[in-house]
Amino acid sequence: MRSEGIKYALIFVCGCLPVVDACAVDASGVVKTVKGAVHIERAGQSLDAAIGTEIYNSDRIVTGPESSVGITLRDNTLLSEGANSILELNKFAFNSTTYDGALDATIKRGSLAVVDGKLAKANPDSVRYSTPTTTLGVRGTEFIIEVGGDGESAH
């Protein structure tokens, strides 16, 4: 009986809270590994990345020399960013029930190794990785993207 009372109390408390768009506040993923200098640029601020740091839409993840970061997205996509790299997570949305959503990321400089998660397996057309000169669709489950130089396209 006691647990029933707690359950009703939780429903009552939660029912009084304002409704917020869950997609706007949910983290897209989490940092699982960090080596060296890694920071996240978010809303004009620079945050040092640490294991457990949440990643959100529009985050820019920057690695320094001899540095790397491993990120797991909510659909279990694994992203491994190498040294001297810049990764922008333009958009990530994932419905864990239907596996619908979208992943749009840009590797501006450096390297990114990817192991696809549930989103790409269920709906490969909804996943896109871009570089300054190329846009890649997903057709495999594991791949590496490398952008040489300063990330700018040659003219």
Q: What is the pLDDT of residues 37-47, one digit of tens each?
A: 999 999 999 99
Range of 51's domain?
23-147
132-149 pLDDT, tens digit each? 887 776 666 777 888 886
6, part of any domain = no
Task: Provide the greatest CA pair distance for the chain.
Answer: 73
126, part of any domain = yes
155, part of any domain = no
105, part of any domain = yes
Whether 106 contacts 127, CB under 8 Å: no
User: What's the mean per-residue pLDDT of the chain?
Assistant: 82
By three-state DSSP, how is residue 116 classified? coil
Domain count, the chain: 1
Asked if residue 103 has pLDDT above 50, the reply is yes
The pLDDT > 90 percentage for the chain reads 65
- Predicted confidence at residue 147, as pLDDT, reads 87
- Predicted confidence at residue 148, as pLDDT, reads 80
